[in-house]
Amino acid sequence: MINLVYNEMLKIVRKKRLFIIAAIVAVLVSLFTYAQFKQVETIRERIGTTDWRTQLQQQIIDTQNRLNSTGISEEWKKFLKIRLQQQQYYLDNDINPMAPGAPTFMRMFIENSIELFLPLLVMVIAADLVSSEASGGTIKLLLTRPVKRWKILMSKYIAMILSTSFIVFSVAVLSYAISGIVFGYGGWNLPLLTGFSIQGEELNTTGVHLIPQWKYLLIEFGLAFFVSLVVGTLTFMLSVLLRSTAAVMGIMLAALISGAILSSMVSSWESAKYLFMVNLRLTSYVSGMAPPIDGMTLSFSMTVLAIWALVALIISFYVFTKRDVY
């Protein structure tokens, strides 16, 4: 089995996919670092201070003003209200959620990339794991070895898991290393609040507690890994079912983008919460953002995602071991 996994990793590495992905991450992180740097600068210019309390207070006032303007949707209003309560909580407890530093940037980067960017990267690897062997014809060589079919698929799946963690890791390392140049490398022990739970329009703070940023990051990256794994597994299934890598990518891309759109407009379509695409923003639960649909919690979303992944895995293995290869 170890040999088989080694084979798969060899192929992934030799196709240079991992390095291309790392390069993409590096470019994007640099871009965001610069954008973030610019934003900090403009805020400083606008209110003439770098004091975070003033900034946060200003943000609260801005949010309140947005709430009072007409023509904003109910969902958006609800979201703003919860944000407001949370910001107020940070202010009242004298905690700066935006303290500059590479770890803070990492946190923001992973929170913003968990829904679309990270799954896209994982998709690039997972999409052609099986389908490229089918379209290249090499699947015939693989399946005529004295190795059971499920073992071959399992080795590919393990390789997918390993490369997924590599991708998440490269996001972590690169965002830390690059943003640190601008924001400094400190801030691992910054206390952050978590454990918010949202009930209707109210923010429930009974379970709220402080954890250091490194732990917070570990949680968020763990969740990002989980999400990537689920998206990877679904892509993997499509890769088994379809011969064309392009078709696999097309379908996954459509699903992921529709998820990003749906989560901003489905609050009235309740059963949409069973779709995997609207459940990808797991980090929002940790930071206490309002979920797209009422009644969605971290455990709910994780369960939904796990079920999707499990079903996809079963289908993959069933089809792969039974199928005739032409």
Partner 1 sequence: MPKRIISIVVAICVATTMLWIFGLIVTIQDQFFYEASSSTKQIEATNSNSKQKDALSIVALGDSLTRGTGDETGKGYVGHVMDELKKRTDKQIQFTNLAIKGQRSAQLIEQLKQKEVQRQIIEADIILMTIGGNDLFRGGEALRDLSTTQIEKEKKKFIEQLNTIFLLIREMNEDAPVFYIALYNPFNDLDNGKETSAIVRNWNYAASEVAAQYKSIICVPTYDLFELQVNDYLYTDKFHPNKEGYKRMGERVAALITLTEGEK
Partner 2 sequence: MEETLVVQNVKKTIGKKEIIKGLSFSLKKGEVFGFLGPNGAGKTTTIRMLVGLIKPTSGKIFVCGYDLQKQFTKAIQHIGCIVENPELYPYLSGWENLEHFARMLPSISTTRIQEVVELVGLQNRIHDLVRTYSLGMRQRLGIAQALLGKPTVLILDEPTNGLDPVGIREMRQFIRTLAEQEQLTVLVSSHLLSEIQLMCDRVAIMSKGEIIRIDTVEHLLKEQARTYWNVHPIHIAKQILKNETTVLGEKDDFIVTVYESNEVIARCNARLIEAGVSVSSIERKLPTLEDLFIELTGGETID
The residues that touch partner 2, with contacts defined as CB under 8 A, are 3-4, 6-7, 10-11, 14-15, 136-138, 140-148, 324-326
Smallest distance from partner 1 to CB 261, Å: 27
Least Cβ distance, residue 223 to partner 1 (angstroms): 6
Q: How far apart are CA 31 and CA 291, in angstroms?
A: 28
d(CA 190, CA 240): 45
**Comparison of 299 and 326: residue with beta carbon closer to partner 2:** 326
Nearest to 62 by CA among 54, 73, 74, 50: 54
Q: 108 is in the binding site of which of partner 1, partner 2, none (Cβ under 5 to 8 A by kind)?
A: none
21 or 192: CB nearest partner 2: 21
Q: Is the dihedral of CA 235, 257, 292, 113 positive or negative?
A: positive
Asked if 299 touches partner 1 (CB under 8 A), the answer is yes
Residue from 39, 93, 268, 303 touching partner 1 (CB under 8 A): that is 93
Choose one: 25-33, 217-225, 242-250, 264-272; the region binding partner 1 (CB under 8 A).
217-225
Smallest gap from Cβ 4 to partner 2, in A, equals 7
Pick between residue 64 and residue 321 the one whose CB is nearest to partner 1. Answer: 64
Does 287 bind partner 1 (CB under 8 A)? Our answer is: no
Looking at beta carbons only, is 94 or 326 nearer to partner 2? Answer: 326
Report the alpha-carbon distance of residue 249 to residue 261 in Å, rounded: 18
CB of 264 to partner 1, least distance (A): 24
Give the shortest CB-140-to-partner 2 separation in angstroms.
Answer: 5
Q: CB-wise, 206 or 271, nearer to partner 1?
A: 206
Q: Which is nearer to partner 2, 17 or 77 (CB)?
A: 17
**Among candidate residues 159, 154, 301, 306, the one with its CA nearest the CA of residue 230:** 306
CB of 185 to partner 1, least distance (A): 19
Question: 138 or 297: whose CB is closer to partner 2?
Answer: 138
Binding to partner 1 in span 44-63, by CB under 8 A: 47-49, 51, 53-54, 56-58, 61
Site string for partner 1, 97-136 (x = CB under 8 A): ----------------------------------------
Question: If contact means CB under 5 to 8 A according to the sort of partner, which of partner 1, partner 2, none does residue 9 touch?
Answer: partner 1
Q: Which is nearer to partner 2, 25 or 139 (CB)?
A: 139
Q: Closest separation between CB of residue 214 and partner 1, Å?
A: 10
Q: How many chain residues bind partner 1 (CB under 8 A)?
A: 55
One character per residue 178-207, x = contact with partner 1 (rule: CB under 8 A):
-------------x-xxx----------xx
Q: What angle do CA 300, 305, 309 make, to 5 degrees?
A: 150
* Three-class SS of the chain: CHHHHHHHHHHHHHCCHHHHHHHHHHHHHHHHHHHHHHHHHHHHHHHCCCCHHHHHHHHHHHHHHHHHCCCCCHHHHHHHHHHHHHHHHHHHCCCCCCCCCHHHHHHHHHHHHCCCHHHHHHHHHHHHHHHHHHHHCCHHHHHCCCCCHHHHHHHHHHHHHHHHHHHHHHHHHHHHHHHHHHHCCCCCCCEEEECCEEECCEEECCCCEEEEHHHHHHHHHHHHHHHHHHHHHHHHHHHHHCCCHHHHHHHHHHHHHHHHHHCCCCCCCHHHHHCCHHHCCCHHHHHCCCCCCCCCCHHHHHHHHHHHHHHHHHHHHHHHHHCCCC
